[in-house]
Amino acid sequence: MNERDTLKVNEKGHLELGGADCVELAKKFGTPLYLFDETYIRKMMGVYRDTLKKHYGDNGLVLYASKAFSCQAIYRIADEENIGIDVVSGGELYTALQAGFPAERIYMHGNNKLDYEIGEALDAGIGCIVADAYSEIDKIDAEAKKRGMVQRILLRINPGVEAHTHAFVQTATTDSKFGFSIADGTAEKATAYAMTKKNVKLDGYHCHIGSQIFEKQSFVLGVEKVMDFAVSMKDKLNFTLETLNMGGGFGIWYTDEDRKILAEGYAEYLEALIQTVKEKVAQHGLKAPYLLLEPGRSIVGEAGVTLYTVGAIKDIPGVKKYVAVDGGMFDNPRYALYQSKYTPILANRANEPCTEIVSIAGKCCESGDLIAVNVSLPKAETGDILAVLSTGAYNYSMAMNYNRNMIPPCVLVRDGEAEYIVKPQSYADIVRNDVIPSRLLKKTK
């Protein structure tokens, strides 16, 4: 097991998260179950917030990229920790507003925001919208005009940085649906275009080079490219970079193949990024831009553990041993999508040595419904509680009702206490939006 702050094994040999016995939690709340360690989440928000302040003063804000895990409680935590958030849909915006999150600390992203989403963002008075296409600049301008206001925007810029991660989660190479490319000149054209609009105030640039990235150099290169571009826009268009948003993307520990960074270690990434901004500012005599960062995965990822109960075990001699659990791709589609790797452990026998290599299968009708392939475990028995580590980011947020399975509840743990932050779904929830047209209603004789 890794030496992370959030997990330990207690005297019963049970896994503990945030001071709570996972086996007891599985009994109390049932499985599958998403657990989140509040202390770790707050710690990570604090590491980013305090590092930014230490090296850049008050001239910036950390935004929690809430696509990683969105529910009302997480927005309350982010608010209490005095950071901002980014949202990427009307649904995330609505959730944040329902939780009472201050609109001025909300940034909105998305590569194809819908008219009503832009309208809702303007009506709420959110801090900033990141425009990702000409049509979006037009739409924001038009909607702002209707409301007699001027909306602050950033342009999403694609600096063409190759970040070492899975292709589906890379967002800033040349072929990307995100952003205006610096290389092909569209970033310049979009800057000039946005500057002509009366009801938007182009305040700066946003860039996000990808996700689950460990190479500090990729982040540094991203900053250099965007800052150099801003310098050229100052020279060519007399554009002043007021705000620079460098996105998120910091990698986390899923398995021992990943670089292990303990919470405080993330400060180094920020320092490197901030240092580069400062150097560019000094080199070109620029005004220091208001600096934004948007970590998502690294705030909630390692705070989360999913608990399952082991069910059917199928040993195919010479081929594979499948250990099936009561969850699957409906609560964690990341193996199916990205062949992501995870570390599973038996929560009720967490001290026992691993003796076999197995694959963890879900319960969906799909061969690719796997959680982890060829992982080491003690010999699992039906009824064991299996914990999959580092599932706090992009698991619940990407969960679905495939096969009409119910999305598991989320429980927040703090100092040994545990309570729901997302309640379990029921079969009634599953059929809630179904409609049977009257012609199909079952005829009563």
Residues 6+ positions from 402 with CB-CB distance below 8 Å: 329, 330, 364, 366
Say how many C-beta atoms besides its own lie within 10 A of residue 45's C-beta: 21
> Judged by CB, which is closer to ligand LLP: 56, or 254?
254
When asked if residue 211 is in the footprint of ligand LLP (CB under 6 A), the reply is yes
Tell me which residues in 239-278 interact with ligand LLP (CB under 6 A): 247-250
> Judged by CB, which is closer to ligand LLP: 202, or 252?
252
Q: How far is the CB of 331 from ligand LLP (least distance, A)?
A: 13
- The answer to whether the beta carbons of residues 387 and 372 sit under 8 Å apart is no
When asked if residue 132 is in the footprint of ligand LLP (CB under 6 A), the reply is no
- Per DSSP (E only), the strands in 78-221 are 84-87, 106-108, 128-131, 151-158, 180-181, 200-206
Q: Considering only residues 4, 208, 225, 349, which one is a binding residue for ligand LLP as defined by CB under 6 A?
A: 208
CA distance 65 to 245: 12
Q: What angle do CA 248, 397, 110 make, to 5 degrees?
A: 50
Tell me which residues in 72-101 interact with ligand LLP (CB under 6 A): 86
> Judged by CB, which is closer to ligand LLP: 278, or 341?
341
Q: Considering only residues 49, 113, 297, 349, which one is a binding residue for ligand LLP as defined by CB under 6 A?
A: 297
DSSP SS3 for 61? strand
Q: At what angle do helices 38-56 and 72-80 cross, to 10 degrees?
A: 40
CA distance 187 to 201: 16
State the residue number with the nearest CB to ligand LLP: 248
Q: How far is the CB of 139 from ligand LLP (least distance, A)?
A: 19
Q: Of 309, 306, 340, 301, nearest to 410 (Cα)?
A: 306
Residue 240 backbone dihedrals phi, psi, to 5 degrees: -105, 125
Q: How far is the CB of 89 from ligand LLP (least distance, A)?
A: 12
When asked if residue 68 is in the footprint of ligand LLP (CB under 6 A), the reply is yes
Q: Considering only residues 49, 105, 109, 363, which one is a binding residue for ligand LLP as defined by CB under 6 A?
A: 109
- What is the residue type of 445? K
Q: How far is the CB of 340 from ligand LLP (least distance, A)?
A: 7
When asked if residue 169 is in the footprint of ligand LLP (CB under 6 A), the reply is yes
Tell me which residues in 331-370 interact with ligand LLP (CB under 6 A): 334
When asked if residue 179 is in the footprint of ligand LLP (CB under 6 A), the reply is no
Please tell me which residue in 22, 207, 354, 365 is annotated as part of the active site: 365
> Judged by CB, which is closer to ligand LLP: 24, or 258?
258
Radius of gyration, alpha carbons of the chain: 23
Catalytic, 365? Answer yes
When asked if residue 295 is in the footprint of ligand LLP (CB under 6 A), the reply is yes
Q: At what angle do helices 72-80 and 90-98 cross, to 10 degrees?
A: 60
Can you give the binding site for ligand LLP, defined by CB under 6 A?
65, 67-68, 86, 109, 169, 171, 208, 211-212, 247-250, 294-298, 334, 393-394, 398
Catalytic site positions: 365
